[in-house]
């Protein structure tokens, strides 16, 4: 029996027509995709276009996130193939469409942890999960570290596969032998769909990760590092999530030097795994990395060869129903914000003019669980003040935020007298957030309030599935 015979016999497909005969897509179904390939994703396009051709309508698209590369979905919504969207974030045309009335139903925004919960507690019932994997074998085993378009951790995909009614692995590389490293087991997989290419891994680094060299970021990073070092947490054997982007990168470098000098190590690093974090794993600053999403295709080799670089699924990362989830062991978290208000509520999803510009990601989950949560942000961006009296959209409530580090000063929440004392004793000036707010408007002046209708464009959930806030359509 030769190889092509094997393919015909088993659950491997190379035509969508045949796939849909085996696993039909019906009107009104909920289908899901992950966003590990970020701006380099081509799977959603190929699958959705094929679904569109079948004439099916009313699909609920439940993605772990959506980016600019998914602009094409806007047309699919207009002509009815897709009716509902559930995601962690929106960009481009879809973000605009959510606000200008192009979508019949409100978008549901969830954090990664919230989605993990929704998928496991039944709130989100996925009919078919289409999971991009860079390598699969004929039995259905899959990973994202082998193959020409390997992208690292398959953390979001793994949990989807375990919870969806049907799971289709979409890959451009079918291994002859059984995969050596298996992230998704064949037992969860109903079909393997071969496509010419799953995407472009250069796009993994795109989208909110570009390291733009900006001197203001250096000031913020230096102060974040100082704050972490002096806040009172013993950093040796601690767990930290630093985020990604120019500030996080520089914070990592400062902390690396600090830890090395004192022969200390972080027990684990969490969050999107960048090349810098892998370097810090290799130079001993981190004992281990817990990787739910790789932000650099180079992570593949590290996952494969370094037993301390663990691929974890999103349930292990941040499911609020999972008492052992990694976020529960975090000591320090550094997160960003589009806005923060004087009650310490944080917005990371919308801009001050009401437009949807970002994603929740793991923000809510990390802030809720970490011992200390630091928001790092400039005081204002292109005149738009980051500190406000009230945020436009509450994504992460103030009770979970402890410190704000800006380029014009550091503020600590009043109720964290322990942190205030530790920082002040070490010569770090601590301000009240109200004072930083005054400083902010001394530059920008008070903004006008943008007017919204009472039509809900999107619902922002809490990690446990309640409503945190609504996003309204603009006037």
Partner 1 sequence: MFWRSIMYVPGNTPSMIQSSMIYGADAIVLDLEDSVEESEKDSARNLVSCALKMLDFSGTDVFVRTNSVDSKHFQRDLRAVAGTCIYGIRVPKVQKAQEIVYIDQSITEIENELSLPGGIIKFMVSIESALGVINIKEICQASTRLIGVAFGAEDFTYDMGVKRTKEGNELAFARSTLALTARAYGKIAIDCVFSDTKDPEGLRKDCEIARSFGMTGKSVIHPGQIEVVNKSFSPSDQEIGQARRVIELYKKLGCPGVFSFEGNMVDLPVLKKYQRIYELYGRDKVE
Partner 2 sequence: MKSASCGRTKKGDVLITVSRIETEEVVINIKSTVKELYAREIERTVREELSRAGKTSMEITVDDYGALDFAIKARLITALQRLEETGDDKNVLA
> What residue ranges bind partner 1 (CB under 8 A)?
215-216, 218-219, 407-408, 439, 442-443
CB of 322 to partner 1, least distance (A): 41
Shortest spacing between CB 388 and partner 2, in angstroms: 10
- Taking the complex as a whole, the smallest distance from the CB of residue 440 to partner 2 amounts, in Å, to 12
Q: Which is nearer to partner 1, 413 or 439 (CB)?
A: 439
DSSP state of 449: P
CA–CA distance, 23 with 128 (Å, rounded to integer): 9
Complex with partner 1: residue 160 or 407, whichever CB lies closer:
407
Taking the C-alpha atoms of residue 346 and residue 357, their distance in angstroms, rounded to an integer, is 14
Integer Cα distance of 302 and 127 in angstroms: 33
Which of partner 2, partner 1, none does residue 219 bind to, with CB < 5 to 8 Å depending on kind?
A: partner 1
Token representation of residue 150: 């390997």
Nearer of residues 406 and 468 to partner 1, judged by Cβ: 406
Residues 298 and 279 sit within 8 Å (Cβ to Cβ): no
- Residue 18's binding partner among partner 2, partner 1, none (Cβ under 5 to 8 angstroms by kind) is none
Q: Which does 352 bind (CB under 5 to 8 A by kind): partner 2, partner 1, none?
A: partner 2
- Is the Cβ of residue 104 or residue 214 nearer to partner 1 in the bound state? 214
Instruction: Select 7 or 384, whichever has its Cβ closest to partner 2.
Output: 384
Which of 197/219 has CB closer to partner 1? 219
Residue number with CB closer to partner 2 (137 or 339): 339
| Closest distance to partner 1 from the beta carbon of 375 (Å) | 18
- Shortest separation between residue 65's beta carbon and partner 2, angstroms: 26
- SS3 (DSSP) at 467: strand
DSSP structural state of residue 447: P
408 binds, among partner 2, partner 1, none (CB under 5 to 8 A by kind): partner 1
Q: Is 464 exposed, middle or buried (0-12, 13-18, 19+ CB in 10 A)?
A: middle
Q: Quick one: DSSP state of residue 397?
A: -
For residue 369, the minimal CB distance to partner 1 (Å) is: 32
Nearer to partner 1 (CB atom), residue 390 or residue 438: 438
**Helix 246-261 vs helix 275-282: angle between axes, to the nearest 10 degrees?**
10
* Cα–Cα distance, 311 to 299 (Å, whole number): 10
Residues that bind partner 2 (CB under 8 A): 352-354, 382-384, 443-448, 450
Residue 122: exposure state from Cβ atoms within 10 A (0-12, 13-18, ≥19): exposed
Residue 351 burial (CB < 10 Å; 0-12/13-18/19+)?
middle
For residue 36, the partner it binds in partner 1, partner 2, none, with Cβ less than 5 to 8 A by kind, is: none
Among partner 2, partner 1, none, what does residue 301 contact (CB within 5–8 Å per kind)? Answer: none
For residue 380, the minimal CB distance to partner 2 (Å) is 9
C-alpha separations of 454 from 126, 393, 474 in Å: 30, 14, 9
From the list partner 1, partner 2, none, pick the one residue 15 interacts with, judged by a Cβ distance below 5 to 8 Å according to partner type. Answer: none
Dist. CA 173–CA 300, nearest whole Å:
15
Neighbour-count burial for 323-338, b at 16+ CB within 10 Å, e otherwise: eebbbebbbbbbbbbb
407 binds, among partner 2, partner 1, none (CB under 5 to 8 A by kind): partner 1
Q: Choose among 292, 279, 227: nearest CA to 253.
A: 279
Q: Closest approach of Cβ 417 to partner 1, in Å?
A: 22
């Amino acid at each position: 029996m030769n190889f092509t015979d094997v393919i015909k016999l088993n659950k491997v497909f190379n035509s969508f027509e045949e796939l849909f005969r085996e696993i039909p897509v019906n009107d009104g179904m909920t289908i899901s995709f992950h966003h590990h390939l970020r701006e380099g994703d081509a799977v959603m396009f190929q699958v959705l276009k094929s679904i569109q051709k079948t004439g099916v309508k009313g699909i609920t698209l439940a993605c772990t996130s959506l980016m600019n590369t998914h602009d094409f979905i806007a047309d699919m919504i207009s002509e009815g193939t897709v009716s509902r969207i559930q995601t962690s974030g929106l960009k481009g045309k879809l973000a605009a469409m959510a606000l200008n009335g192009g979508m019949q139903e409100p978008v549901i925004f969830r954090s990664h942890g919230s989605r993990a919960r929704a998928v496991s507690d039944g709130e989100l019932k996925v009919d078919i999960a289409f999971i991009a994997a860079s390598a699969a074998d004929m039995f259905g085993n899959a990973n994202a570290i082998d193959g020409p378009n390997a992208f690292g951790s398959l953390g979001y995909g793994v949990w989807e596969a375990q919870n969806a009614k049907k799971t289709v692995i979409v890959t451009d590389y079918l291994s002859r032998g059984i995969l050596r490293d298996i992230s998704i087991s064949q037992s969860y997989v109903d079909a393997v769909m071969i496509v010419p290419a799953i995407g472009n891994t250069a796009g993994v680094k795109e989208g909110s990760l570009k390291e733009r060299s900006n001197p203001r970021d250096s000031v913020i990073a230096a102060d974040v590092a100082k704050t972490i070092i002096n806040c009172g947490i013993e950093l040796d054997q601690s767990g930290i999530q630093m985020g990604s982007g120019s500030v996080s990168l520089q914070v990592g470098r400062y902390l690396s030097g600090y830890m090395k000098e004192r022969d200390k190590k972080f027990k684990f690093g969490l969050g999107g795994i960048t090349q810098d974090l892998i370097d810090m794993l290799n130079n001993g600053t981190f004992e281990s990395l817990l990787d739910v999403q790789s932000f650099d295709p180079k992570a593949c080799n590290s996952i494969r060869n370094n037993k301390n670089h663990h691929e974890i699924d999103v349930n292990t990362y941040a499911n609020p129903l999972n008492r052992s989830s990694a976020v529960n062991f975090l000591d320090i978290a550094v997160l960003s914000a589009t806005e923060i208000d004087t009650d310490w509520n944080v917005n990371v999803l919308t801009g001050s003019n009401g437009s949807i510009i970002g994603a929740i990601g793991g923000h809510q989950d990390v802030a809720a669980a970490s011992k200390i949560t630091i928001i790092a942000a400039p005081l204002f961006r292109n005149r738009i003040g980051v500190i406000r009296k009230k945020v436009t959209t509450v994504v992460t409530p103030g009770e979970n935020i402890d410190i704000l580090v800006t380029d014009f000063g550091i503020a600590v929440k009043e109720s964290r007298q322990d942190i205030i004392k530790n920082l002040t004793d070490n010569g770090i000036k601590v301000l009240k957030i109200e004072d930083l707010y005054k400083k902010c408007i001394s530059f920008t002046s008070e903004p006008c309030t943008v007017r919204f209708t009472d039509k809900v464009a999107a619902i922002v959930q809490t990690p446990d599935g309640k409503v945190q806030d609504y996003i309204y359509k603009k006037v």
